[in-house]
Amino acid sequence: MTEDAPYPRFATRGRAFVYVMPCRDEDLLKLGFSRDPFTRFSTLHRRFFGFFDLDRGLLVDAERVAAARRIERTLIEGFREHRAMAPLAVRATAGGHTEWYRGAHLAVSDTLRRIAADEGLYLHDGLRPWLREHLLARADLLHDWALRIVDTLDWARANAPDDPGATTLRRALLDTWAMFEAAGIDVRAFVPSSVSEWFDHGEHRRLFPQDR
């Protein structure tokens, strides 16, 4: 784990998932498959938990990569006429500029639900509980990770105030805090008091008010 990375991520070994992720503010969705949905969503948008509508998202445990590819292909071939361009907010480096669809959320979701039911696959219908479970399983890592970042930011403020690395660290911690809150988790229960104090009174209140 490096301090300039967002909250630590771990793949679910030996499994593959198919996802449907609708955007929050427009009739647009991303579909695909991944061995590690959490990392995939994070690469698409640094605040995927706000950019996408978690409550309307779907995630199917397809168990094997071959099955996930087959299910994804079924969706792609079934909804070609709804293909759309990726939103500008999606990172160009994420490789996420394909498999976007407009005006097809209900139909795509119903198709994926039917496939999951027919094949006896586990379906997460709404991803907020899934995200909460994922984060809670790794919450013991948050204490030391957050403390190291705050200690590094304190050092940078005194010794290298113009270091761009501090901005990366600051955003990583703010994004992680916001992600836990989006999942309905009390961040303060897992971080030391110095981190809570930083969140309440740190310089990000002035530098990044929109990320609070």
Q: Report whether 42 contacts 9 (CB < 8 A).
A: yes
H or E element in which residue 99 lies: none
Q: Are 174 and 150 in contact, with CB atoms under 8 Å apart?
A: no
Straight-line distance from the first to the last Cα atom of the chain, in angstroms, rounded to the nearest whole number? 24
Q: E strands within the chain? A: 17-22, 28-34, 58-61, 83-84, 100-102, 122-125
Q: Tens of pLDDT along 158-186?
A: 898 888 899 999 999 999 999 999 999 99
Between CA 192 and CA 69 the distance in angstroms is: 43
> pLDDT tens, 61-86?
999 999 999 999 999 999 999 999 99
